[in-house]
Amino acid sequence: MSSSKPTPLYPTYVELCEFELNDYPSINNLLTSTDNETWWSSHWSWGKSFLEYTGRNKSVHTYDRFRNEIERFLLWAYFEKKSAIDTLRKSDILEYADFCWQPPITWISTSNHDRFRLENGYWAANELWRPYKIQAAKSQTIKDVDKKKYRPSQQTLTSTFTAIIVFYNYLMGEEYCYGNPAQIAKKDCRHFITDTQVKEVKRLTTSQWQYVLDAAVELANEDEKYERNLFVIAALKTLFLRISELAERENWSPIMGHFWQDEDDNWWLKIFGKGRKLRDTTVPPDFLPFLERYRLTRALSSLPYGGENTVLVEKIRGQGGMTSRHLRRLVQDIFDHAYRKMRQHEGENKAIKLKEASSHWLRHTGASMEIERGRALKDLSEDLGHASMATTDTVYVQTENKMRAESGKRRKVD
């Protein structure tokens, strides 16, 4: 397998919109080298056009996801296969799937790194960046990670094929290619596993959630700087929010005025979600005290008013809202406190999930608890922002599995 160290091909969507080749020496060198295959420059341009289309018509999140996959695919075609992608066949795509299943360790990183760094007015390729990343468990240090053990998840493999299929469809529409080998190859990929397992929803138990909430309340009562943490975890869990939906983004800034009251005094929150879709989620009365105490520490009225432009979750320092990365740190801080408390009182086995948990677990936790309380699936699906109730049912409904597990306990050996 090749020992080459690939270079990044595409910057962020914002930077791509303002792209000048001379500002990126590494890309410029890669495209203008006399050693290049004649097709390489045009293929890079195809990828650029496709990603511009994706960012413009989909979302920045979709752009980032497709950029990762198209970049890997083109780098493989250039460095490894050394073949133009419009000449590839089904067998070649299956070969690429094998490559993705076990890429060379020189293509794997153990942590996230920006693709480019601004140096002397130019965007230099970051030497630490790699196309693939193996995630260290929370209990591991980066030094403990063995890159040879990298394997993509089934979800990652599906995302890889999805992106390449969509890419080829785009190229066919532009009449650059006249077939889609990825579409044909997907059903024969040996790395896909037919999964009939019981799906484990990544959520906290009722007890674990109580430790998280108690930790946040206790810290906020002792020091008002933790009111921000308390508000964030209460919103993520109770309003079923994704972390990005609380964050400041290029095209959306969550404000207090997005809370609103209808003529029957019901509270709602307007959310800009996945797929650039706006939705209104119900805000239960039990959440309002957390909103009130957070606002009072910011010297605001107890509840929001129509047209209020105050940032929803303000930065610790500076103006504007928090990024997703900063919000995750607030959540992780509370998880760490809760883990230590629960381990002390109930032992490591009961607390261990708090060490593994991410901010998205709070959304799953809130939704799963509502299902267990008997809330209508249609209402919950709309609050979650799912396009279909089937998605809500697949991801969250665990009642039948619980009944199955209970009946399984009655089996006897004799």
State pLDDT tens for residues 214-223.
999 999 999 9
Q: How many CA atoms lie within 13 A of 318 on its CB side?
A: 5
Name beta bridge partners: 280.
Answer: 270
Q: Per the domain annotation, does 411 fall within a domain?
A: no
Cα 267–Cα 273–Cα 277 angle in degrees, nearest 5 = 95
Name beta bridge partners: 108.
Answer: 132
Residue found by looking up tokens 């910011």 in the block: 298
Q: How confident is the model at residue 3 (pLDDT cuts 50, 70, 90)?
A: very low
Greater model confidence, 368 or 289: 289
At residue 278, the 3 state secondary structure works out as: strand
At residue 411, the 3 state secondary structure works out as: coil
Write out pLDDT tens, residues 190-224: 998 865 555 566 889 999 999 999 999 999 999 99
Q: Per the domain annotation, does 7 fall within a domain?
A: no
Residues 183 and 212 in one domain: no
User: Does the pLDDT of residue 399 top 60, yes or no?
Assistant: no
8 A C-beta contact, residue 179 and residue 86? no
CATH number of residue 344's parent domain: 1.10.443.10
The residue segments making up the domain with residue 311 are 206-406
Whether this model's pTM surpasses 0.85? no
Residues 18 and 155 in one domain: yes
Residues 108 and 247 in one domain: no
User: Does the pLDDT of residue 271 top 60, yes or no?
Assistant: yes
Amino acid 166 reads: V
Residues 18 and 121 in one domain: yes
**Mean pLDDT, to the nearest integer, of 163-175?**
95
Residues 308 and 365 in one domain: yes
Please tell me which of 245-259, 288-302, 368-382 the model is most confident about, judged by mean pLDDT. Answer: 288-302
Report the C-alpha gap between 128 and 109 in whole angstroms.
8
Q: Of the ranges 323-327, 346-350, 363-367, 385-389, which one carries the lowest mean pLDDT score? A: 385-389
The domain boundary residue, chosen from 188, 216, 240: 188
**What is the reported pLDDT for 2?**
46
Total structural domains in the chain?
2
**Mean pLDDT, to the nearest integer, of 77-98?**
95
Report the C-alpha gap between 378 and 384 in whole angstroms.
10
Report the C-alpha gap between 80 and 106 in whole angstroms.
13
Residues in the chain: 414
8 A C-beta contact, residue 255 and residue 309? yes
Q: Could you tell me which residues come within 8 angstroms of residue 97 by beta carbon, excluding any fewer than 6 positions away?
A: 157, 160, 161, 185, 189, 190, 191
Amino acid 81 reads: K
Burial 232-247 (b: 16+ CB within 10 A, else e): bbbbbbbbbbbbbbbb
User: Does the pLDDT of residue 65 top 80, yes or no?
Assistant: yes
User: Does the pLDDT of residue 402 top 80, yes or no?
Assistant: no
